[in-house]
Structure 1
Amino acid sequence: MGFDNAVDGVVIYRSAVEVPASRSDFTGQGGCLASTAGCAGLGGNGFGQPSVHTRLGEAATVTDGELGFLYVPVSGGPGTPVRVYRQRD
């Protein structure tokens, strides 16, 4: 799950449950609970540039052998360049 966030930049979390019911069902960087204050998203808030990367595009997952990867396009909005980030799942 991801959030477009003008303060923290895009923030992406993962869930191990099939049907998450609350924010505490999601984890971020280092396994922190998304419901905990200061829990940074996977790859860091805004993928390390929160003031630049504030919007998410449609993401895709790809499996390479035993590893899974999330590819996600992010931008700062209209008229800004799009970057594609790969996050290991």
Structure 2
Amino acid sequence: MVQALIVDHGLTRPEFSANDFRDLLPDLPHGLLGAAVRGLAASGTITATGRTVPSTSPATHGHRISVYRITAAPEETAPAV
């Protein structure tokens, strides 16, 4: 469910981060949203842009998180996160 939401959201925006999904999801166990994002990146579905933004999650105290985009071509691979 979480990964499907990320992909659906990403198809409508050129770039996105985990910040974009927090208000759209029910309360999740700590780390689940990040794990879903990293799983999509590892599979090549999304690709990190090289940019970061401050996290809006109070639990993370504003640490930087990656900005992603939907992978444009199947041969593209996501960089290690």
Structure 2 length as normaliser, TM-score?
A: 0.26
Computing the radius of gyration over CA atoms, which structure comes out larger, 1 or 2? 1
